[in-house]
């Protein structure tokens, strides 16, 4: 960042004062909380988060420093629940992302389905001869949950997924939302949600790697490291085992 684009010291100071004011407003809202889902507390929390993020960015841009605290982001947070206390209906909104990593496997699976339906007829002119056609065949044949559990068989790789359970006073009329199935989703009517993402796996792996590095540090008990090393076959041992298995198969 050039010097011209950097924030001034006065801007950083103003951002710090904004954080202080947001803290005061948040504390006042908490002290006057009228219930578990008080809107004033929610709004004060968001204002504090925005002010803190702005200050943190300006502080870093100007002085190459960061704050020692982190306020959870609000982009993925759900607002307080304001739906019916006793829902008479619910909607389950699901999104699952996949990557097509093995198109040939996908095509082969779709062609098997079409061949079975046609009692052995050739699939040359069938919908399963293209990738988008194969997707239509497979998702038309199998339930989404089965696709999710067998995605590798279909040449797919799982991406992020989310499931939202939303509450309503009355069931929707038949055909009411079919043209725009997700347009009427009200975040304030979400009872619960469940997210799956590789981001969470990466965070867990980082924590696990840190723990393993600490456990296997060079300062650790050398007898422990020796036991671990002894439990790992050398490349020569593995090759010897493979040769032994080949001779055993030949004798059979």
DSSP state of 95: E
- In angstroms, rounded to a whole number, what is the distance separating the alpha carbons of residues 133 and 143? 17
Percent of the chain with pLDDT over 90: 39
Tell me the whole-structure pTM to 2 decimals.
Answer: 0.50
Q: Give 171-196 pLDDT, tens digit per residue.
A: 999 999 999 888 878 888 988 888 88
- In angstroms, rounded to a whole number, what is the distance separating the alpha carbons of residues 52 and 74? 12
Q: Give 31-78 pLDDT, tens digit per residue.
A: 998 877 788 888 888 899 889 989 998 999 999 998 887 655 444 556
Q: Residue 93's CB: how many other CB atoms inside 10 A?
A: 14
Q: Give 196-252 pLDDT, tens digit per residue.
A: 888 776 655 555 555 555 555 544 443 333 333 434 444 455 455 555 545 545 554
Helix (H), strand (E) at residue 228 = helix 222-230
CA-nearest of 65, 48, 49, 73 to 12 is 65
């Amino acid at each position: 960042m050039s010097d011209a684009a950097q924030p001034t010291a006065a801007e950083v100071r103003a951002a710090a004062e904004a954080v202080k004011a947001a803290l005061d407003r948040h504390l006042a809202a908490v002290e006057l909380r009228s219930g578990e889902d008080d809107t004033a507390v929610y709004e004060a929390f968001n204002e504090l988060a925005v002010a803190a993020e702005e200050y943190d960015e300006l502080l870093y841009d100007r002085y190459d420093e960061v704050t020692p605290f982190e306020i959870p982001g609000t982009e993925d947070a759900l607002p307080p629940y304001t739906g019916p206390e006793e829902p008479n209906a619910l909607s389950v909104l699901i999104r699952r992302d996949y990557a097509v990593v093995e198109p040939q496997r996908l095509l082969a699976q779709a062609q098997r389905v079409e061949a079975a339906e046609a009692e052995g007829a050739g699939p040359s002119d069938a919908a399963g001869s293209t990738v988008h056609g194969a997707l239509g065949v497979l998702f038309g044949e199998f339930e989404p949950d089965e696709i999710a559990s067998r995605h590798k068989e279909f040449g797919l790789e799982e991406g992020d997924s989310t499931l939202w359970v939303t509450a309503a006073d009355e069931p929707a009329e038949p055909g009411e939302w079919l043209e725009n199935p997700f347009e009427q989703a009200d975040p304030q009517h979400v009872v619960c949600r469940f997210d799956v993402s590789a981001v969470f796996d990466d965070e867990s792996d980082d924590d696990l790697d840190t723990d393993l590095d600490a456990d296997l540090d060079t300062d650790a008990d050398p007898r422990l490291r020796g036991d671990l090393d002894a439990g790992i076959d050398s490349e020569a041992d593995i090759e010897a085992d493979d040769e032994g298995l080949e001779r055993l198969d030949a004798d059979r």
